[in-house]
Structure 1
């Protein structure tokens, strides 16, 4: 038996925790806002520090390094210490990243700021999502996973929009942006102090690194989900890091706000895809994810060739929708297929792959852009993502064929 020294949240009344649930959603969204706020500022950093598009992709990718480090190092801490201490740690990292951004005077400091920002997301997003699910009661309970996704994706989408507004209308955007988010983190800290704990501290459990394992019984599904998830998060990473560059160079969008809205398009598509993915049949969801992802990449190629911002917006919405369906399908399949004592480790392994996908492909895109140009590199990127999606589809077809053959053989033997 675990001995908890911190009492869990009260359970009286189906609606008694609604304000606290909403409060946690607000905190999760505001932390995630900070992780995408730098996107509209990269052009200003390029001018101020004199770095290239390749450096933009590297700066962006360092965020994923921080996320991966946090997932592995702190992934089990909230099960031992309780949710609130780890949520507070995540807010601390978010505030610390704002401070480092405020102090940034060269590219090296920017890299550190992005790593710390990644630490905040890696520490916070999983713990906050679990806390929201534990906090929700009554009618909110069934919707809690969707509410957590709404807060996460909503925050990611709002970050570039808020920053672009500050770039357009506020003085010293490279400073004001982070002062604003630092103020939001003060509010977030106050909310964490106010909400009740949903899991007491377990003194008989030890802090340790998050194990990353994939059980044999779910390995075939995991490989398909990981390939499709990798493709989908690569799309999200490309839009978050490079959509402003593509919009300005090929679609004639010079407005920082307009560029931010195009970045947000992929987040909106992802959220819609996650909602739809929960309602779709397993086979149908895989087909929809693959089809939408390939269609999104075709629209991206069309943008690079024809130069219309409407095509870029459609590419974000459609590709994001495919990513959202794939992500919802992957998490759902792991939750139902992995053994109870291996769910957390398997889910963490899936997240590690998805966060690698928002870093390495984006840096590869930057390197390729330097060698052959942004247009050609973008077309190559679209082809690789489409090939990955098709590979996942072929694996799914082969697995289903094997299952059908085994079923027919079993029926024949029975008769």
Structure 2
């Protein structure tokens, strides 16, 4: 009997493994499209004649689209089901490629970034929850990490793929988006093929995402959101400004070299998410905090010394801290939120992270214009360190509260 149950369980895991992997691939492909324009900004600067400040504003318009989609559509998959919203996200991603292909001035570029943001905002929370719901058996415990790896992996591959096309393919401002359009066609086919993980709930109505976090995970959410904000601010800095830092401070001018420095933070994030799985909860929390502070300290040294090697170390170390914090936050929210609010709470988490990936970068752009890239970067690092320090104080308070909480006796334990 036991052997029969085990075989049935293995069969169920096997039938869910392929669609789970397919959803992860689609999530990575959609996120890849959101960072592909990064190596192209210098080309846009030359062709459209805009400044570093305009680069940061163009970059931030992506986050405007993300936030609009998360707030406007963040709960829709809880009502309509996951697959219709996933398909809508892919359609937005393909539409952004089309607008990029038509871009002939800064205004059209801004529209393209907003549409790209809409695709990520519609897709990322729903896809993450879908992967977690799709996974069964042994996959279930790994699903939050699979979702976060797909997200960060896609973000990291975007600049690398685009820089390769810039270097080796003709007409990079067009070829890049045609390649991604092809990926979106494949992504839509996968979404059509995978099973639905949550059926339509006709008794519920569509509406804006409520700005509410269930009380049972509120303390965890606050700390996770603060660390997520700090970590994604670092990721936003590298994604938007690392090419400029590479060219003006550390002396790296090739597209591929600048792209690799840009994605060092994503590489660190992937390593952090993988390493964090092997650590106990307390150790993971402490390591995330230490790594982010250390990464920002190395960034300050980089800006003073001007060595590309140190910029790579800053990205990897800071990214590792971000990766651990992001994976822990996503896992805690996905497992702690009530079933009917999973997508909404996950989207709320992403609202905070995408505010972090945009507003600080715009502030950095304004500050760079006023005091220079070096001073602005040092100020940025100091602010991130301050945020992480506040999160560490919240962690201490949370641990003390847990220690003071009475341990349930056998008589109190549920039957």
- State the TM-score, normalized to the length of structure 2: 0.90
**In 2, are the aligned partners of 1:98 and 1:181 still within 8 Å (CA)?**
yes
CA distance 1:154–1:357, shift in 2 (3 Å): same
Kindly state the Cα deviation for residue 322 of structure 1 after the two structures are TM-superposed.
0.7
**Alignment correspondent of 1:20:** 19
Greater displacement, 302-311 / 332-341: 332-341
CA distance 1:18–1:350, shift in 2 (3 Å): closer
CA-to-aligned-CA distance 1:144-165 (integer Å, 9 cap, x gap): 2222222211111110001001
**Alignment correspondent of 2:160:** 161
**In 2, are the aligned partners of 1:15 and 1:138 still within 8 Å (CA)?**
no
Kindly state the Cα deviation for residue 286 of structure 1 after the two structures are TM-superposed.
2.4
Corresponding residue SS for 1:51: coil
CA distance 1:349–1:189, shift in 2 (3 Å): closer
Corresponding residue SS for 1:17: helix
Aligned 1:4-153 pairs, distance under 5 A: 13-153=12-152
Aligned 1:245-324 pairs, distance under 5 A: 245-324=244-323
CA-to-aligned-CA distance 1:345-388 (integer Å, 9 cap, x gap): 44333221111000100000000000000011001111111111
| Matched length | 398
**In 1, are the aligned partners of 2:129 and 2:334 still within 8 Å (CA)?**
no
CA distance 1:43–1:284, shift in 2 (3 Å): same
Does 1:188 pair with 2:193?
no
Q: C-alpha separation between the residues in 2 aligned to 1:64 and 1:320? A: 20
CA distance 1:403–1:192, shift in 2 (3 Å): closer
Q: C-alpha separation between the residues in 2 aligned to 1:201 and 1:340? A: 14
Q: C-alpha separation between the residues in 2 aligned to 1:297 and 1:162? A: 27
CA-to-aligned-CA distance 1:221-271 (integer Å, 9 cap, x gap): 333322222111100000011111111111111110111111221111112
CA distance 1:141–1:112, shift in 2 (3 Å): same
Q: C-alpha separation between the residues in 2 aligned to 1:366 and 1:358? A: 13
Corresponding residue SS for 1:15: helix
Q: C-alpha separation between the residues in 2 aligned to 1:152 and 1:378? A: 26
Q: C-alpha separation between the residues in 1 aligned to 2:120 and 2:360? A: 20
**Alignment correspondent of 2:383:** 384
RMSD between aligned residues: 2.2
- State the TM-score, normalized to the length of structure 1: 0.90
Please list every run of 5 or more consecutive structure 2 residues that lacks an aligned counterpart in the other structure: 1-9, 408-415
**Alignment correspondent of 1:214:** 213
Q: C-alpha separation between the residues in 2 aligned to 1:73 and 1:111? A: 20
Greater displacement, 332-341 / 365-374: 332-341
CA-to-aligned-CA distance 1:191-238 (integer Å, 9 cap, x gap): 222223233223222222211213445444333322222111100000
Q: C-alpha separation between the residues in 2 aligned to 1:401 and 1:22? A: 39
Q: C-alpha separation between the residues in 2 aligned to 1:172 and 1:156? A: 22
**Alignment correspondent of 1:7:** none
**In 1, are the aligned partners of 2:298 and 2:310 still within 8 Å (CA)?**
yes
Q: C-alpha separation between the residues in 2 aligned to 1:83 and 1:398? A: 37
